[in-house]
Amino acid sequence: MRRLPCGKLRPLVAALILLANATAASAQPGVQTLTSDDLARAGITRLSDIFALAGTWSTFSTEDYHWDAAPLGVTWETSSAWKLFVDESPVDLRALGRQSINGLPLSLSEVCTVQLHTLPVIIGGLIAAAGAIHLQTCPVTHGLSARGVLGVGNETGDPGPWRYTDFGGPNVDRTGPTIQGVIAGGGRNWHLRAQAILDEHHATDPRIRTRVRTLYVGEKDARIFLRAGRASFRLGTHTITGAAARTEDLRYSETLGLEAPVNHETAYVRANGTWRKMGYRLSGMQSNVLTRRNLGSVNVDFEQNALRAHLYGRFTGNRAQAEFGIRGAYLRTIPFPVHNVQMLTLGSVYGQLDALLGRWVKLVTMGSFSIDGRAPGYSAFGSLGFLPADVRLTIAMNDRSYAGQHDLAYWLTQGYQPTSPGSLPVELQASDKREQVLSADLSWHRRRDIELSFTGGFRRHRGYPLLSYAAIYDSLTTGLKVATTARSIAGNTLRGEAELRMPLGHYVTAAVHAAYAYIMAGQHEYRAAWHQRVLAYAQVDFAPNPRFTLHARARYRGVSNWPDYSAAAQAAPEHYAFRMPAAVLVDLTAQKRLWGERLRLSATLRNLADHSHISHPAGSRTRLLFQIRIQYRFEAVI
């Protein structure tokens, strides 16, 4: 009998496992799973475009490139609380307190699945109590392969010929080009993969341009320019990855009320692997936010080197799996204007148990004890699932020092002081310096042709490290003067979400999703931080043929309130706002596969109804946007 070509089947098996996992994950409430097909069908050209597909994530941006995002029920001011993972390894891209997913040196063509967790979850031995985004890369196929994605976009509203008449206005934002390329080679026991990314975004909205032109030196246009590269080598179960990214940026700083001209440079080396029942993840990362020369004496310099190590052992029985691990991090930081090097050491030990109790109950539990700086703390997670009814209760607790998050609020308390001519010193009222979070969520799911799921939950925050701002309009620069206060605050929140997914005939599938957050009790600053409380979407996929699809999605963004900007909005309503009305944004994408599986073309109309929309008080006005995406894939078996 002829033997099966196991080597050739390996990528197929890996893909099937991935697909099976994805299918299983998409069936879990609190997790939204997007496959590479979903991303292509929706015409996604950048990683941040994923948020346009996220049902329960509220997102805000000033220039439509860097998106502050957080699951509804968590404020974006503490967006660092949610975690970003690539293949179970945590990634920290924060700059000026914000985690911009576009800075990740990872080509979209290498992303096989994206999981958006809105409930607490354990990934790679870490409890992500405030949710997580988990990107899983595609396995390298046997032989030689090359993939690339090109994306370009143009927002409507340019003056065109009217520029030369009395009727024309200024140019508006342009998206891209976004160019991502990957080349890879792989055998049975190894792979080598290299990828490069170039991305460009022009923020030319008058609200931004007037602020930027009084500040930037020698730059014709306000633009963001990303260059990134990544290479990985796998031998057996061991992988080493190196990556570097440089973003010429106009990062909006809430503390300064302007777009700081910075270059954000990140570089990291990571090694991970397993040996028998043991595993390891080691990484070294450098992240520098360096201020470019400017007319306003703005300085937001922040340099950080981090070494991280994670060792674990995994033991599997018939009905249970246990994992024990130890994790440590050493951070060496130079925050402006503190020129002394600051050291921070973090360490934790943890144990995790996944077990089937009888036939019907599944238990996932984890406990972690940590030393953050010199302060002890703990995190705990428990999930109890009743399998026949598809009901799950998830509880997470966290009591740790601010140092454990080491986010912007923490570094401000350590003396970091971004400055501009109009900036005011940060007022520190964070006396508690400990963060305590308790969450409980109950979810139910019905798995039939018509899928239905409900999730309801409770969040209790104490000692929550929150930054609040009082922004005053500066008529000289059209910028802001901002007084920032760091406070420990407390409050309780209820949240709920529901989803319905069903086929409509042979060619059409439809989904409806809604999420709501309700602030039960809390201080004024806590209530004010929940800018948005209602999110919903309806989605229809029409596939008359497997090689051609139409994807339509209507997103409802509820009213968002920003009391911190009320004074500025009253003084200059043409530049700032403090209450953004609700909006319905409709996106439509047509996608066609050509040349077998080699070529995929998609054309997307975002904000089809051309609804003039602002997501941030100081942000640009979004109009109808047209995007083209071309994806090429070549594979050859050697």
Partner 1 sequence: MRPVLLVLCLLAGALQVQAQAPFSTLEFQVLTTSNVNRNLLHEYWRPGRGGTITLATPFYWGITETGATIHRYNAARDVPGFGAFWVFAGWSVDWRLKSTIAVRPGLRLGNYRMSFDGAETTFAGVSTESDLVLSGGVAISAAIGPTWGVSARADYLRVHTTPLLRLWYVSGGLAVRIPAGRRLRALLE
**By the criterion CB under 8 A, which residues form the site for partner 1?**
154, 156-165, 167-169, 171, 204, 209, 220-221, 544-545, 547-548, 594-596, 603, 605, 610, 624, 626
Nearer to partner 1, 317 or 595 (CB): 595
Here the tokens at position 332 are 């060496």
Nearer to partner 1, 166 or 449 (CB): 166
Report in angstroms how near the CB of residue 160 gets to partner 1 at its nearest.
3
Report in angstroms how near the CB of residue 543 gets to partner 1 at its nearest.
10
Nearer to partner 1, 326 or 584 (CB): 584
CA-based end-to-end distance of the chain: 25
Report in angstroms how near the CB of residue 175 gets to partner 1 at its nearest.
12
242 CB-near residues (< 8 Å, 6+ apart): 230, 231, 232, 267, 268, 269, 270
Report in angstroms how near the CB of residue 607 gets to partner 1 at its nearest.
11
Nearer to partner 1, 490 or 586 (CB): 586
Report in angstroms how near the CB of residue 270 gets to partner 1 at its nearest.
38
Report in angstroms how near the CB of residue 114 gets to partner 1 at its nearest.
28
Place of tokens 């009591």: 399
Burial 592-610 (b: 16+ CB within 10 A, else e): ebeeeeeebebebbbbbee
Strand partners, 384: 363, 393
Measured over the CA atoms of residue 62, residue 67, residue 73 and residue 79, the dihedral's sign is: negative
Residue 144: Cβ-neighbour burial (10 angstroms; 0-12, 13-18, 19+): middle
Burial 548-563 (b: 16+ CB within 10 A, else e): ebbbbbbbebbebbbb
Report in angstroms how near the CB of residue 626 gets to partner 1 at its nearest.
4
The C-alpha atoms of residue 131 and residue 112 are separated, in whole angstroms, by 20
| Three-state secondary structure of 328-369 | EEEEEEEECCCCCCEEEEEEEEEEEEEEEECCCEEEEEEEEE
Nearer to partner 1, 214 or 523 (CB): 214
Strand partners, 191: 186, 234
Nearer to partner 1, 595 or 638 (CB): 595
Nearer to partner 1, 145 or 549 (CB): 549
525 CB-near residues (< 8 Å, 6+ apart): 466, 468, 487, 489
Report in angstroms how near the CB of residue 201 gets to partner 1 at its nearest.
13
Nearer to partner 1, 9 or 295 (CB): 295
Report in angstroms how near the CB of residue 538 gets to partner 1 at its nearest.
15
Report in angstroms how near the CB of residue 251 gets to partner 1 at its nearest.
20
Place of tokens 């957080």: 70
Nearer to partner 1, 400 or 606 (CB): 606
Measured over the CA atoms of residue 139, residue 141, residue 144 and residue 148, the dihedral's sign is: negative
152 CB-near residues (< 8 Å, 6+ apart): 45, 175, 176, 177, 178, 627, 628
Is 216 in contact with 226 (CB distance < 8 Å)? no
Report in angstroms how near the CB of residue 218 gets to partner 1 at its nearest.
13
The C-alpha atoms of residue 171 and residue 158 are separated, in whole angstroms, by 5
Q: What is the DSSP letter of 34?
A: E
Report in angstroms how near the CB of residue 485 gets to partner 1 at its nearest.
37
Nearer to partner 1, 315 or 548 (CB): 548
The C-alpha atoms of residue 489 and residue 462 are separated, in whole angstroms, by 6
Report in angstroms how near the CB of residue 200 gets to partner 1 at its nearest.
11
| Three-state secondary structure of 474-531 | ECCCCEEEEEEEEEEEEEEEEEEEEEEEEEECCCEEEEEEEEEEEEEEECHHHHHCCC
- What kind and span of H or E run contains 12? helix 6-26
Report in angstroms how near the CB of residue 216 gets to partner 1 at its nearest.
12
Name the nearest CA neighbour of 552 among 53, 50, 156.
53
Report in angstroms how near the CB of residue 592 gets to partner 1 at its nearest.
9
Around Cβ 159, how many Cβ atoms within 10 Å?
14
Name the nearest CA neighbour of 427 among 219, 255, 227.
255
Nearer to partner 1, 341 or 594 (CB): 594
Name the nearest CA neighbour of 396 among 463, 458, 327.
458
Nearer to partner 1, 208 or 568 (CB): 208
Strand partners, 327: 310, 348
Nearer to partner 1, 304 or 627 (CB): 627
Give the SS3 label for residue 286: strand
